[in-house]
Amino acid sequence: MKRNIKLFGAAALVTAALPAVAPAQTGDARIALSNNYAGNSWRQAMLESWEKAGTQAVEEGVVAAADAFTTSENQATEQAAQIQNMILQGYDAIVVNAASPTALNGAIAEACDAGITVVSFDGIVTEPCAWRIAVDFKEMGRQQVEYLASRLPDGGNLLEIRGLAGVFVDDEIHAGIQQGVEEYPQFEIVGSVHGDWAQDVAQKAVAGVLPSLPEIDGVVTQGGDGYGAAQAIDAAGRDMPIIVMGNRQDEMQWWAEQRDANGYETLSLSIAPGVSTLALWVAQQILAGNEVPKDLTVPFLVVTQDTLDEALAATPEGSVANVEYSLEDAQAVIEDAKAAE
């Protein structure tokens, strides 16, 4: 499960002869989602996937509630207070997309002490009592540089666009990019900005730094920033570098237009927003008594030149290429993790 997959490949997650864990055991369970941020298309798609899976789980009597809550500001203190409120409301499980890998640990430990199951995903936490679901974000960063090395064997200057400062995802992707540059020293990062995983923020940040930078050969990103970078570079009248994309619909639309106009070629990769549905089902399985390893690693989605049209056709305007998980998919992920222990 640690390798990346091509788009839509996650549909084959289900394996034969899965052990049955009766959903009826959790029919009275109440699960809450604590989300720290909703200011980009990935987070919106993540919440939509949660709502879809949660509504179905409630309608089918698998759980009694699957409520979602998002803080108004991306602040760990606010999210910690939100989690403490969930404890008081008596939820049986709390699923967390965390503002910080460490700053929520106190609130999460309080939840565990109260007998509440805590599952973190995407922005995971380090508190030992919690479960963690993530892709190998570091490898995702490294593979960007590896791809650019295959396209630009002589190397060149790179611009790095980072995500939200202080969040686990940003730190890990950045570390992977740094590792990639160490492996391929013909590349040099000549500029770095925070795009906050949002096109408008990335566009403004890139536009602000471009005048001080030499020629850019490649742009390494974190998702939600590729199209904004392209707009800024185009407005500056510069030659368009190879921009690694993050599976957003507007990025892929721009990519397809550039491909058709001048043969532009790149790569796109990101975690699927539907990982929230996996976190929901993992929480349900823990409540149902299934033994679940504390750390689960899922593949990230890759869109290539060959799969671009398929991915674009399947992605709603303004959204993100996605894969959603069923209960059976979650059981398959859990069994794969057990087998790997």
Pair 79, 142 in one domain: no
* pLDDT tens by residue, 187-239: 999 999 999 999 999 999 999 999 999 999 999 999 989 999 999 999 999 99
Asked if residue 338 belongs to a domain, the reply is: no
Pair 258, 287 in one domain: no
Asked if residue 165 belongs to a domain, the reply is: yes
Cα 276 to Cα 122: distance, rounded to the nearest angstrom: 8
Quote the DSSP letter at residue 184.
S
Interval 141-169 mean pLDDT: 96
Pair 71, 59 in one domain: yes
Pair 25, 146 in one domain: no
Asked if residue 254 belongs to a domain, the reply is: yes
Pair 166, 234 in one domain: yes
Question: Which region, left, alpha or beta, applies to residue 339 given φ > 0 means left and ψ of -120 to 50 means alpha?
Answer: alpha
Cα 99 to Cα 103: distance, rounded to the nearest angstrom: 8
Closest CA to 303 of 320, 290, 283: 320
Residue 329 in contact with residue 14, Cβ under 8 Å? Answer: yes
Asked if residue 317 belongs to a domain, the reply is: no
Pair 142, 264 in one domain: yes
User: What's 257's domain CATH number?
Assistant: 3.40.50.2300
Pair 164, 56 in one domain: no
Q: CA distances (Å), 3 to each of 143, 202, 215, 231, 302, in order?
A: 11, 28, 33, 32, 11
* pLDDT tens by residue, 57-70: 999 999 999 999 99
Pair 247, 160 in one domain: yes
* pLDDT tens by residue, 108-134: 999 999 999 999 999 999 999 999 998
Asked if residue 318 belongs to a domain, the reply is: no
Cα 165 to Cα 99: distance, rounded to the nearest angstrom: 9
The tally of domains found in the chain comes to 2
- Report the range of poorest mean pLDDT among 71-75, 219-223, 238-242: 71-75
The pair of structure tokens assigned to 31 is: 């699960």
Cα 60 to Cα 195: distance, rounded to the nearest angstrom: 40
Residues 6+ away with beta carbon under 8 Å from 151: 218, 242, 265
Pair 201, 85 in one domain: no
Q: Where are the beta strands (DSSP E) in 122-255?
A: 131-134, 156-162, 187-194, 218-220, 242-243
Pair 180, 288 in one domain: no
Quote the DSSP letter at residue 73.
S
End residue of a domain, out of 226, 251, 270: 270
Cα 215 to Cα 252: distance, rounded to the nearest angstrom: 24
What pLDDT band is residue 341 in, cutting at 50, 70 and 90?
Answer: confident
Residues of the domain holding 122: 13-133+272-298
Provide Rg for the chain, Cα atoms. Answer: 20
Asked if residue 27 belongs to a domain, the reply is: yes
* pLDDT tens by residue, 291-320: 999 999 998 899 999 999 999 999 999 999
Asked if residue 240 belongs to a domain, the reply is: yes
Pair 185, 230 in one domain: yes
The per-residue pLDDT for 236 is 97
Asked if residue 36 belongs to a domain, the reply is: yes
The per-residue pLDDT for 135 is 86
Pair 224, 147 in one domain: yes
